[in-house]
Chain A
Amino acid sequence: MADIVVDTKGLACPMPIVRAKKALDTLKPGQTMEVLSTDKGSLQDFTAWVKQTGNELVTHEVENGVFKFLVKKL
Chain B
Amino acid sequence: MGHESQKEKTTIVLFSGDLDKAIAAFIIANGAAAYDHDVTIFFTFWGLNTMRKDEVVKVKKGFLEKMFGWMMPRGAKKLGLSKMNMLGMGPEMIKHVMKKHNALTLPQLIELAQDQGVKLVACTMTMDLLGLKQEELIDGMEYAGVAAYLGDATQAKVNLFI
B77-103 interface with A by 8 A CB criterion: 101-103
Contact with B along A1-25 (1 / 0, CB 8 A): 0000000001111110110110000
The one of B27, B36, B102 in contact with A14, judged by C-beta atoms closer than 8 angstroms, is B27
The answer to whether B116 has its CB under 8 Å from any CB of chain A is: yes
Q: For chain B, which range describes its interface: under 10, 10 to 19, 20 to 34, or 35 or more residues?
A: 10 to 19
* A53 located at the interface, meaning its Cβ lies under 8 Å from any Cβ of chain B in the complex: yes
Chain B hits for A12, CB < 8 A: 101-104
Partner of A13 from the list B27, B33, B35 (CB cut-off 8 Å) is: B27
Given A11-B102, A53-B36, verify A18-B116 contact (CB < 8 Å).
Answer: yes
B101 proximity list for chain A (CB < 8 A): 12
Known: A49-B34, A53-B35. Is A10-B102 also a contact (CB below 8 A)?
yes
- Smallest distance from the beta carbon of B111 to chain A beta carbons, Å? 12
CA distance A31 to B107 in the complex (A): 34
Contact residues in A for B145 (Cβ distance below 8 Å): none
Of chain A, the residue at the smallest CB distance from B103 is: A12
